[in-house]
Amino acid sequence: MAGPRQGVISLAIKDRGMLQNNYMPFVKGGGVFIPTEKTFELDDEVFLLLTLLEDPERFAITGKVIWINYRTTPGGRQTGVGIQFGGADGERLRKKIDALLAGYTRIDQRTNTM
């Protein structure tokens, strides 16, 4: 049996609405949904390059695929994968996202996951 595959995924999140739509706060250590047509399996390791809003810092962290929306996923959700953040840089990224979303609520906004 083969081990998990590895890949590189990048995403530039341009506004707080998009951040809320893709953030996965219910994941231990935090996570983010990445719209992609690339094929991954659960537990695949990925290298994530993420830019948040107007921040010039680009986060480069390792993560693991923990969620998959296939083209056939019910509810009209976007095709892609959910990545669980890993390591100390993942924790720093989670804290940064939580701070960016503090006080921002759009209850009526549908997310790409739950």
Q: Is residue 113 part of a domain?
A: no
Q: Which residue range(s) make up the domain with 21? A: 6-101
Q: Are 90 and 24 in contact (CB under 8 A)?
A: no
Q: Is residue 47 part of a domain?
A: yes
The residue count of the chain comes to: 114
Amino acid making up residue 59: F
Query: In the prediction, which pLDDT does 74 show?
Result: 64
Domain count, the chain: 1
CATH assignment at residue 12:
2.40.10.220
Query: In the prediction, which pLDDT does 73 show?
Result: 64
Query: In the prediction, which pLDDT does 1 show?
Result: 46
- Residue-wise pLDDT for 54-108, tens only, equals 888 899 999 999 999 887 766 667 889 999 999 889 999 999 999 999 987 766 6
CA-to-CA distance for 63 and 53, rounded, in angstroms? 21
Q: Is residue 28 part of a domain?
A: yes
- DSSP label of 4: -
Q: Is residue 112 part of a domain?
A: no
Q: Is residue 37 part of a domain?
A: yes
Q: Are 101 and 93 in contact (CB under 8 A)?
A: no
Q: Is residue 63 part of a domain?
A: yes
Query: In the prediction, which pLDDT does 77 show?
Result: 74
Between residues 43 and 78, the one the model is more confident about: 43
